[in-house]
Amino acid sequence: MNVTDVLGESELFHNLDSAHLKTVAGMCRGTSSRKDTTLFIEGDEATELYVLQSGRAVLEMQLHPMLDEGPVIPTPLEVVSEGGCFGWSALVEPYSYTLSARCLTNCTVLAVKGSRLRDAMASDSDLNGEIMKALAELIALRLVETRIRLSSGFGFILQGHEISTSI
C-alpha cells in the first residue's frame, strides 16, 4: 500500500481529497519500531504526528504517586490499531505530547513532521479545515472513551497483565 492510500484510510486524513493527500504524503517518513519501543514520552516536545500503518500501540498517561514517593506508573488509556493516529499535539500549541506512546507489537508508522503540516495548513484553508475537523472529532472521541474507561475501572484493567502480553 502506498503512502497516500495509508493516509486516505487513516482516522485523521480520510476526508482529504487526492491533492491534499499527496501534499501530506510528501511530508511523511516511514519507520518501523519493535515491540515495547517508546515512540514519544508525555511532556516531550511534540514534533511529529503518527499514522499507524501496521501493528498496535498504546497511549499511556504517566501517573505520579500522591506523596511524590515511589515510581511513576504508566497507565494505559487507549490502544491504537491500524489506521489510527496519535501525537496530534504536534498540531496544537503548546506542541507538547499529552501522553506517551509505546509499541505493543512490532509497528510500522508514517511520521508527519508537525511544523511542515502546520505550515501547509496555514497556507491552505481547505486543508486546515478538513484536518482540524477530523482532529476535533478524534480528540473528542478519545476524551469520551477515556472517561468511560476510567469511570468503569477499565483503565486499571488495561494496566494489568493482559495489555503487556496479549494486546
Task: Provide the mean pLDDT of the chain.
Answer: 89
The dotted CATH code for 3-116+124-165 is 2.60.120.10
Instruction: Answer with the residue of higher pLDDT: 60 or 1.
Output: 60
CA distance 38 to 41: 7
Task: Give residue 167's pLDDT band: very low, low, confident or very high (50, 70, 90).
Answer: very low
- List all residues 6 or more positions away from 74 whose beta carbon is below 8 Å from its beta carbon: 60, 61, 62, 63, 100, 102, 159
Has residue 66 got a pLDDT over 80?
Answer: no
Cell of 55: 501493528
Handedness of CA 90, 3, 139, 41 (dihedral sign): negative
